[in-house]
């Protein structure tokens, strides 16, 4: 079974379940996992601190991914804005591609993994869900963390981020032509993970 350089690319919009699926898949196969959104969140956090976006991306170090603020709504919106900056994306491409080809296999989740970062990935998935479903998930998550907001505000944020991610000129969010789509709107996460694992197993069997 050829694991060296075996890459699983998982894309999708915010709160679609791609992160949860990616982590579960990585654990199942013993692959390394990279949430590429954290890279942009880290840059976004630095921009909120007053740094220029390109300079922040070029100076990014692994320790920046440990910032406790990275899961906040403010940083999420900042991440979506800096992700539309071509110079930021260019600065982070090499890091992501190097991670993807590491020995032992890798799972990367983001918004342009299958289309731009790893167009030759052995497995490409596009995880999605209706905007109101994703907003409800994010709303419940924020309430669980004690963050006060309203469902309407969260839905507006989700829709604004979708518009930015899908409408940007450089590497817009969209499924790769050969990606398998998984809609989690009415699907239990365990079922979605099982579907992803089955697809990867089939591909690995064909690569043996």
| 104 in a known ligand binding site | no
Pairing of strands 123-128, 7-11: parallel
Q: Which residues of 162-192 are buried (b: 16+ CB within 10 A; e: fewer)?
A: bebbeebeebebebbeebeebbbeeeeeeeb
The residues, ordered by sequence, that sit 6+ positions from 132 with a Cβ below 8 Å of its Cβ are 155
| 80 in a known ligand binding site | no
| 16 in a known ligand binding site | yes
Q: Three-state DSSP class for 35?
A: strand
| 14 in a known ligand binding site | yes
| 12 in a known ligand binding site | yes
Q: Would you say 41 and 73 are in contact if contact means Cβ atoms under 8 Å apart?
A: no
Q: Three-state DSSP class for 184?
A: coil
Residue positions forming the annotated binding site for ATP:
12-20
Residue positions forming the annotated binding site:
12-20
């Amino acid at each position: 079974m050829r694991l060296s350089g075996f890459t699983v690319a998982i894309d999708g919009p915010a709160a679609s379940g791609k992160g949860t699926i990616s982590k579960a898949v990585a654990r199942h196969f013993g692959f390394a996992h990279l949430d590429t959104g954290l890279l942009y969140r880290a840059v976004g956090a630095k921009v909120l601190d007053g740094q220029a976006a390109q300079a922040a991306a070029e100076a990014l170090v692994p320790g920046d991914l440990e910032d406790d603020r990275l899961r906040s709504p403010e940083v999420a919106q900042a991440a979506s804005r800096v992700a539309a900056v071509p110079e930021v994306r260019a600065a982070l491409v090499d890091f992501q591609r190097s991670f993807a080809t590491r020995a032992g296999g890798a799972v990367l989740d983001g918004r342009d993994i299958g289309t731009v970062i790893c167009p030759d990935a052995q497995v490409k998935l596009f995880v999605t869900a209706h905007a109101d479903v994703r907003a409800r998930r994010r709303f419940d998550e924020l309430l669980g963390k004690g963050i006060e907001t309203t469902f309407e505000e969260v839905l507006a944020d989700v829709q604004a981020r979708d518009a930015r991610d899908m409408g940007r000129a450089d590497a817009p969010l969209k499924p790769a032509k050969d990606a398998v789509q998984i809609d989690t709107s009415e699907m239990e996460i365990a079922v979605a993970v099982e579907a992803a694992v089955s697809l990867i197993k089939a591909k690995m069997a064909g690569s043996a």
